[in-house]
Amino acid sequence: MPTVIEPKIISGNANRPLAESVARRMSLYRGMSVNLVDARVERFNDGEIFVEVFENVRGEDMYIMQSTSNPANDNLMELLIMADALRRSSASRITAVMPYFGYARQDRRTKARTPISAKLVANMIAEAGIERVLTMDLHAAQIQGFFDIPVDNLYASPIFALDIKNQFKGQLEDVMIVSPDVGGVARARELAKRINAPLSIVDKRREKPGEIAEMTVIGNVEGKKCIVVDDMCDTAGTLCKAAEVILEHGATEVHAYISHGVMSGPAVERVSNSVLKTLVLTDTIQPTDAVKNAPNIRILPTAPLFAQSIMNIWNGHSVSSLFETDVLGPIYEGIL
């Protein structure tokens, strides 16, 4: 067993560029080279996942970087199998760094005979030998209670606040934060407080799932630069419709800040052809080429935040200190 337990990062195939960025940031913080653990995560011809770790990890503090984004089932199995490989290789501690936690939308029974998939995934993660989870902007905060292991839920709002203050410098008095639904008010209110901006809400009513019957703006958005805040953007239908309604109520322009850019199906095309001036996403989910090339989509990096969080966990320091914009400011200096 090594005399000094080092933090080591291993990456699955879900978002390897983010894992490499985190390793580079940790190298900068530590003043020494931090590289991803040499391993292969491959598939047999029938789709079964195979993992082989080429380095000695006995007694090491291991961090698995793996979002459970599309394809969610493959990426989840990669995470579980990597954890099993590390546990059987006598790693000292295994932390799952899941920038995007898939299956989080199934966090309760909305009708009879439906699963609570988020709880099932939490059980699988703990059973695989993972001792801690680090994630960002869970779809529902109560999912932390589904785990019997520590869960650190980071927030994108401090990063958003830094970017908004930079992008709207000298215009903050005209900015209004908008929640796209009643359920996201707490998230929107937190960001509004950080930049000292007013808050508005878009109330949507559905006649049946997948179809929006009516949208109503609660609050006066006339003459405001409105920023819609949400945790994820999937097909972008609701987001683009909300932007149209906000403009119809007198807003001068509409922007959106979204934590997780799922961007499935026609999402990129919808956003590109929408009235949204800009859509700002984080890189918790690896952006596709279509997302990168969209004229009104911009990507914010999360590597500095995850790198510092891993360092804090390794050193036994507070992770919640990173919730503050003042603490993140120096970390993101020169980046935003």
The pLDDT, as a whole number, for residue 2 is: 43
Pair (233, 97) in one structural domain? no
The pLDDT, as a whole number, for residue 1 is: 41
Pair (209, 240) in one structural domain? yes
Least Cα distance to 6 among 54, 56, 59 occurs for 59
Pair (131, 208) in one structural domain? no
- Residue 2, in any domain of the structure: no
The pLDDT, as a whole number, for residue 211 is: 58
Write phi, then psi, for 218 (nearest 5 degrees): -100, 110
- Residue 179, in any domain of the structure: yes
- Residue 135, in any domain of the structure: yes
Least Cα distance to 62 among 134, 3, 123, 114 occurs for 134
Annotated binding-site members for Mg(2+): 139, 181
Task: Tell me whether residue 208 is one of the annotated catalytic residues.
Answer: no
* Helices 303-315 and 16-30, axial angle in degrees (round to 10): 60
168-203 pLDDT, tens digit each: 999 999 999 999 988 899 999 999 999 999 999 998
Q: What is the 8-class DSSP label of residue 36?
A: B
**Which CATH number belongs to the domain containing residue 206 in this structure?**
3.40.50.2020
Pair (173, 293) in one structural domain? yes
- Residue 282, in any domain of the structure: yes
The pLDDT, as a whole number, for residue 212 is: 61
- Residue 243, in any domain of the structure: yes
Indicate left, alpha or beta for 59 from its phi (over 0: left) and psi (-120 to 50: alpha): left
Pair (183, 247) in one structural domain? yes
Pair (54, 92) in one structural domain? yes
The pLDDT, as a whole number, for residue 178 is: 97
Cβ neighbours of residue 168 closer than 8 Å, sequence gap 6 or more? 174, 175, 225
Determine the Cα–Cα distance for residues 268 and 14; give it in Å rounded to an integer: 20
Determine the Cα–Cα distance for residues 26 and 21; give it in Å rounded to an integer: 9
Domain count, the chain: 2
Pair (121, 170) in one structural domain? no
User: Splitting the chain (336 residues) into consecutive groups of 10 residues, what average pLDDT does each group show?
Assistant: 74 97 94 94 94 96 97 97 97 97 92 94 97 96 95 96 95 96 92 96 71 81 97 93 95 98 96 97 97 96 97 94 90 88
Pair (321, 249) in one structural domain? no
Pair (202, 125) in one structural domain? no
Answer yes or no: are the C-beta atoms of 37 and 8 closer than 8 Å.
yes
- Residue 336, in any domain of the structure: no
Pair (291, 170) in one structural domain? yes
Token readout for 332 is 């993101």
Containing structural domain, residue 214: 157-300
- Given 204, 208, 277, 292, which residue is catalytic? 204
Average pLDDT taken over every residue of the chain: 94
- Residue 195, in any domain of the structure: yes
Write phi, then psi, for 242 (nearest 5 degrees): -60, -40
Pair (208, 284) in one structural domain? yes
Annotated binding-site members for ATP: 46-48, 105-106
Determine the Cα–Cα distance for residues 36 and 7; give it in Å rounded to an integer: 10
Helix (H) or strand (E) holding 224: none
Sign (positive or negative) of CA dihedral 255, 257, 258, 261 = positive
The pLDDT, as a whole number, for residue 20 is: 98
Helix (H) or strand (E) holding 118: helix 117-127
Least Cα distance to 13 among 75, 103, 71 occurs for 75
- Residue 143, in any domain of the structure: yes
Pair (287, 167) in one structural domain? yes
